[in-house]
A and B are shown apart, each in its own frame.
Chain A
């Protein structure tokens, strides 16, 4: 809190600034620049103002993708957050198993995203996958490449598999910081498991859970690789999210102007979501005292 004032500290920050300027500022300026021009080739450009933005916002495919994106993020958050907390509470606080459990939990986080897609492809395919065969064995005609609902179920299961560990590890690290005396006091007050969670653990987990929600919110909003491998955005466009659509526009069709306008809107949407969540947490914190 009482750090000394010293503007020479800027020297320490300078390398970071240079790197980030090179890899963020220049590209972002390029994007903004493109988003207001119509580009035919390197020498033929036309200033079009906000036309691309207007066009993007009217593009039904963009709006569909946005809607799917919001639904997907909401669903995975609604599952991963409670499940992660449940798992974190089940991990013993000490003993020889803790280290092993944590390492096993962390594994999904370290698998390349396309491999996550591959793993679930191999697992869920109705012909060669264990999961697909099992569900078919139950008498349900399961085929995620043909049925949008099945594709969504598979995608959500995959994302939960992939990312719940992050929530669980964050929540667990928050739980371990709670002093034993807090639990002992609650036991003496005759508090049950739910009351311990509600009154002892949850208030002290707020900080890590905010981080967990922010990370999951933005990362799920940027999801590209896993559905690209698993479903390729299909069947139809039923699992095409914002990043897929943007990538197909930018790389596939090379529509520089519209893709750039899309990019700017996309980035703003992520920032807006995170900001909305963060300020609502701060506001409700203020209300409670």
Chain B
């Protein structure tokens, strides 16, 4: 019955898949070639680019720095967003709607706007060039988003669960940590995904708030470009490596992905 349309669907997915895959395939191919071979158009096969990254502390330190601030950011975002999202989803209170929309409006602020004040603020409090500075700066975007996503997932949990726990004599903290959080763990996974999705991929703030000490991998890559010619092979290899953490995270939340992209709001 759907023969014609499913054939069409396979074409659409196939062509789009090709479009998505082609640049990544090329990246992988260049990563496995030496720079001379790339420039001369020859073909060879080498793991030297990866070896260069794993043996050079600037590269692997960059990876470590990035993962550090991403982790800090995710922990801060989720832990402050949880109680706030619970408050928004379960209670009415003075100014709740305005507050909610004001939080979301922060998501609309261009990071470039905050460059200068962030630089001055974090320098003033002595956090410049630390992973914590980048993590806090990214909170500006990840916290409102986390509140929004978690609120959606929490509102999908019927309030009768709260009432039952009350009748059973559980305290609010016990209920919240032992009953409620496990119920929405899919939502927490999705929130982690979105925090990661922002903090791992961002460059502008990360670059501005770090010097030589906490330099993240994304900055290492751009600076290598501008130094003494470009080693395309190493650049490609670094690019391949930066895709891997994302792959791991998306694999981890794959079962909640669809619900997550509706931000918990699809029933």
Contact = CB atoms under 8 A, between A and B. Distances in A.
Interface of A: 3-13, 15-17, 19-20, 22-24, 26-28, 30-31, 34, 83, 86-87, 89-92, 99, 101-115, 118-120, 122-123, 127-131, 161, 164-166, 169-170, 172-174, 176-177, 187, 193, 207-208, 211, 218, 221-222, 224-225, 228-229, 242-243, 246-247, 250-251, 256, 259-260, 263-264, 266-267, 270-271, 274
Given A111-B239, A112-B201, A173-B261, 13 more contacts: A3-B90, A9-B96, A16-B147, A90-B10, A103-B251, A109-B246, A110-B197, A166-B261, A228-B203, A242-B112, A243-B111, A250-B116, A259-B116
Contacts of A221: 110
Contact of B80 (A16, A99, A106): A16
Given A128-B232, A221-B110, A224-B112, A110 B80 contact: no
B23 A172 contact: no
A270 B106 CA distance: 11
16 contacts: A5-B92, A19-B80, A28-B109, A103-B257, A106-B250, A115-B243, A169-B258, A170-B262, A174-B266, A222-B110, A225-B203, A229-B222, A243-B111, A260-B116, A267-B108, A270-B110
- Chain B contact residues: over half helix, strand or loop, or mixed? helix
B72 interface: no
B110 A9 contact: no
B203 A27 contact: no
Contact of A6 (B93, B217, B260, B266): B93
Given A27-B118, A172-B261, A176-B266, A99 B239 contact: no
B200 A26 contact: no
B2 to A, nearest CB: 9
Interface of B: 1, 5, 8-10, 12-13, 16-17, 19-20, 22-27, 30, 38-39, 41, 76, 79-81, 83-84, 86-94, 96, 99, 103, 105-118, 120-121, 136-137, 139-140, 143-144, 147, 196-197, 200-204, 208, 217-218, 221-222, 225, 232, 235-236, 238-239, 242-243, 245-247, 249-251, 254-255, 257-263, 265-267
A226 B249 CA distance: 22
A274 B250 contact: no
Given A107-B246, A110-B197, A247 B13 contact: no
A224 B205 CA distance: 11
B266 A208 contact: yes
Closest CB pairs A-B (n = 3):
A110-B246, A12-B87, A27-B117
B113 A161 contact: no
A267 B267 CA distance: 34
Contacts of B22: 123, 130-131
B8 A90 contact: yes
Contact of A119 (B16, B19, B91, B239): B239
A96 to B, nearest CB: 12
Task: Identify the interface centre among A8, A122, A123, A263: most chain B CB within 10 Å of its CB.
Answer: A122
A4 B257 contact: no
A74 to B, nearest CB: 18
Contacts of A242: 110, 112
Contacts, number: 290
B108 A128 contact: no
Given A13-B88, A246-B113, A119 B201 contact: no
A19 B139 contact: yes
B262 A208 contact: yes
B247 A13 contact: no
B99 A13 contact: yes
Nearest to B79: A15
B140 A20 contact: yes
A111 B246 contact: yes
Contact of B258 (A22, A86, A176): A176
A110 B113 contact: no
A208 to B, nearest CB: 6
B190 to A, nearest CB: 11
Contacts of A23: 118, 136-137, 139-140
Nearest to A215: B107
B26 A10 contact: no
Contacts of B106: 20, 24
Contact of A271 (B91, B105, B204): B105
A87 B16 contact: yes
Contact of A112 (B81, B218, B249): B218
B234 to A, nearest CB: 11
A207 B117 contact: no
Contacts of B200: 110, 112
A162 B193 CA distance: 17
A116 B187 CA distance: 28
Contacts of B112: 222, 224, 242-243, 246-247, 250, 263, 266
